[in-house]
């Protein structure tokens, strides 16, 4: 829920306060922290109560849903930005993050700590000593890099293709080829 809240703050910040490179960089960093605090904890919250095939299906649906909703969010943000401006697109993103926060707070069971732990929150030594966990962490890190590269370079590739076909300024609002 903290990650979703940071995502909402980032989007509202872009809509209301971003005015240059440094403010945009800070808000993008905030959005990245929000994403990191949302994706895996959300997956864990969905999958932990389940067992067997229901758990693997939930993980698959969550992963597919993240990809589909991420792609749809770009399309929707583009439409809103073309109708009402970039600030409106970011306001919509912030509002949807707030609605996700409310939904998570309503649906997710509250967790009450029954015993205080003596470990510190950011003590990663037990994780670093766990070879099996580190194998999964390294594998998932490489997978995440691959997804990020694919998403980032996909846009670059499409822009390069449009440019190679003689696209003019504003090529995203009309067909790439003027033929």
Residue 27 CB: number of other CB atoms within 10 A?
20
Would you say the C-alpha torsion 130, 124, 104, 32 has a positive or negative sign? negative
Residue 24 reports pLDDT greater than 90: yes
Model-level pTM? 0.68
Over residues 61-90, the pLDDT tens digits come to 988 888 898 889 988 998 999 999 999 999
Number of H helices, E strands in the chain: 7, 0
- What gap in Å lies between CA 109 and CA 98, rounded to an integer? 18
- Mean pLDDT of the region 108-124: 63
pLDDT at 102: 94
- The three-state secondary structure class of 93 is helix
Over 60: is that where the pLDDT of 179 sits?
A: no
Centre a 10 Å sphere on the Cβ of residue 12 and count the other Cβ atoms it contains: 19
pLDDT of 113 over the 70 cut = no
């Amino acid at each position: 829920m903290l990650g979703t809240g940071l995502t909402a703050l980032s989007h509202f910040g872009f809509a209301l306060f971003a005015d240059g490179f440094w403010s945009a960089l800070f808000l993008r960093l905030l959005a990245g922290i929000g994403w990191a605090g949302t994706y895996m904890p959300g997956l864990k919250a969905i999958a932990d109560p389940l067992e067997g095939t229901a758990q693997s299906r939930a993980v698959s649906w969550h992963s597919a849903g993240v990809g589909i909703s991420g792609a749809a969010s770009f399309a929707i943000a583009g439409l809103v930005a073309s109708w009402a401006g970039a600030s409106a697109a970011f306001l919509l993103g912030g509002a949807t993050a707030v609605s996700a926060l409310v939904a998570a707070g309503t649906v997710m069971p509250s967790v009450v700590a029954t015993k205080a732990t003596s470990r510190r929150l950011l003590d990663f030594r037990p994780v670093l000593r766990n070879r099996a966990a580190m194998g999964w962490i390294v594998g998932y890190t490489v997978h995440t890099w691959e997804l990020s590269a694919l998403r980032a370079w996909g846009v670059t590739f499409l822009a390069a293709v449009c440019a190679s076909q003689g696209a003019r300024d504003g090529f995203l609002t009309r067909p790439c080829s003027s033929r």
